[in-house]
Amino acid sequence: MLVVMQSHATEEQVRAVCQRIESLGYKALPVPGAGRTAVCITGNSGPVDIGSLEAMAGVVECIAVSKPYKLGSRDVKEESTVVRIPTPLGDVAFGGRDIAMVAGPCAIETREQAFAVAERVKKAGARLFRGGAYKPRTSPYSFQGLGEPGLKILAEVRERFGLGIVTEAIDNESLELVEKYADVIQIGARNMQNFSLLKRAGRSQKPVLLKRGMSATLDEFLMAAEYVMSEGNYNVILCERGVRTFSDHTRNTLDLSMIPAVQRRSHLPIVVDPSHGTGKRHKVLPLSRAAVAVGADGLLVEVHHDPDRALSDGMQSILPDEFDELIREVRQIAGVLRRTIN
Ligand code: PEP
Ligand code: MN
């Protein structure tokens, strides 16, 4: 259920509506929009008695939200959300006219490796650097990431190059540390339905980049975002990274039809990861072009200066020169859509 406030409703009127909802035993989550605020009612198992709410000052109407997700739905907030990430080089926006570029190695291996890639990624024009200090690996014998020393290297990258940092938390324990160092907390595909992690990320002050699970439906994906938002963190960026299909010519099948599907139902920004989405270096550029053409709000690309010796995901990591070319090409495609790369 949604209580739609008048465009000129005062903060006090919104607060009074929230108090009334809570006195009825439900949770009230105000969602401010460009023109008006809507108050979302959650925690109700059945229909809410709307009579007394609709009569309150500043209220336009109460409407039932038919979708299982509410806070992330366009029914609740019509205009697209822009998630702004402040970096020393300026804000990076996800969800507006800009298309955000996020790049870096799959894993932080050494300070030298991180610096070598960061330098090139910055030169190419990206302002967000992504690298994992905690890696969710299929095998327990594969490189698991450097842990906190990796986060410290990321902090040095931020300091030295002015790049914002995107890095993954794999459990509640690592999230405690990640949120201290990162500008954006990544939740990986394998954790898309780790509900306690999603709730913990929802209590963080940092924006969350949520990757689609490898077999998640659209509703499951949006419900995962809802977990984060329901705890009060509305800065969620979705990421399509491919799903499991019958195709065996790629690691995953990049489901680009997810982008317009999400944009129709949700106001949240959505980016594309063509690296995990294909698993093959030579497919990263063509799928990046396609992702921008289809309307993605950003790209997440794995770049390594020596991919053949990378400790994880070398086969899908592109070289810095290839990343330069990628940015050049997607900038032209963005121009056709009257969007810019940032
Ligand atoms: C990653 O981003 O390095 C990663 C492990 O991706 P995913 O969670 O999409 O598999
Ligand atoms: Mn990877």
pLDDT at 45 over 80: no
Average pLDDT estimate for 234-256: 97
Neighbours of 333 (CB within 10 A): 17
CA angle (302 as vertex; 264, 84 as ends), nearest 5: 50
Average pLDDT estimate for 271-297: 98
Q: Which atom of ligand 1 is nearest to the CA of 273?
A: 9
Residue 213: CB within 6 Å of ligand 1?
no
Highest-confidence range of 13-27, 63-77, 170-184, by mean pLDDT? 170-184
Residue with tokens 């977990």: 227
- Angstrom CA distances, 59 to 20, 72, 309, 335, stand at 12, 21, 61, 42
Average pLDDT estimate for 142-171: 98
Using CA positions, which residue lies closest to atom 3 of ligand 1?
106
**How many residues are recorded in the chain?**
342
Residue 209: CB within 6 Å of ligand 1?
no
Who contacts 156 (Cβ-Cβ below 8 Å, separation ≥6)?
Answer: 111, 114, 115
Which of 186, 250, 317 should be mutated for ligand 1, with most atoms under 8 A from CB? 186
> 62-76, 168-182, 203-217, 287-301: which has the minimum mean pLDDT?
62-76
d(CA 158, CA 289): 28
pLDDT at 46 over 80: no
Residue 211: CB within 6 Å of ligand 1?
yes
- Angstrom CA distances, 170 to 130, 150, 181, 311, 318, stand at 15, 14, 15, 18, 25
pLDDT at 89 over 80: yes
Helix (H, G, I), strand (E, B) or coil at 6: coil
pLDDT-based confidence at residue 109 (cuts at 50, 70, 90) = very high
Residue 188: CB within 6 Å of ligand 1?
yes
> 50-64, 94-108, 110-124: which has the minimum mean pLDDT?
50-64
**pLDDT value, residue 116:** 98
Helix or strand (DSSP H, E) at 30:
strand 27-32
Q: Which atom of ligand 1 is nearest to the CA of 130?
A: 2
**pLDDT value, residue 252:** 97
Using CA positions, which residue lies closest to atom 9 of ligand 1?
189
Dihedrals phi, psi of 132, to nearest 5 degrees: -95, 135
Kindly state the percentage of the chain with pLDDT values over 90. 92
Higher pLDDT, 43 or 286: 286
Give 251-282 pLDDT, tens digit per residue.
999 999 999 999 999 999 999 999 999 999 99
**Contact 297/99 with Cβ under 8 angstroms?**
yes
Helix (H, G, I), strand (E, B) or coil at 302: strand
pLDDT-based confidence at residue 161 (cuts at 50, 70, 90) = very high
pLDDT-based confidence at residue 44 (cuts at 50, 70, 90) = confident
Centre of ligand 2 to C-alpha 163, Å, is: 19
d(CA 259, CA 291): 8
**pLDDT value, residue 42:** 86
Residue 132: CB within 6 Å of ligand 1?
yes
**pLDDT value, residue 129:** 98
**Contact 102/122 with Cβ under 8 angstroms?**
no
Backbone Cα Rg of the chain: 21
Kindly state the percentage of the chain with pLDDT values over 70. 100
Residue 106: CB within 6 Å of ligand 1?
yes
Residue 304: CB within 6 Å of ligand 1?
no
Q: Supply the pTM of this predicted model.
A: 0.95
Which of 212, 250, 276, 316 should be mutated for ligand 1, with most atoms under 8 A from CB? 276
Give 186-225 pLDDT, tens digit per residue.
999 999 999 999 999 999 999 999 999 999 999 999 999 9
**Contact 256/241 with Cβ under 8 angstroms?**
no
pLDDT at 342 over 90: no
Q: Which atom of ligand 1 is nearest to the CA of 211?
A: 9
pLDDT-based confidence at residue 68 (cuts at 50, 70, 90) = confident
Using CA positions, which residue lies closest to atom 10 of ligand 1?
189
Centre of ligand 2 to C-alpha 137, Å, is: 9
Centre of ligand 1 to C-alpha 189, Å, is: 6
Q: Which atom of ligand 1 is nearest to the CA of 241?
A: 9
Average pLDDT estimate for 121-138: 97
Who contacts 334 (Cβ-Cβ below 8 Å, separation ≥6)?
Answer: 99, 292, 340, 341
pLDDT at 18 over 90: yes
Q: Which atom of ligand 1 is nearest to the CA of 189?
A: 8
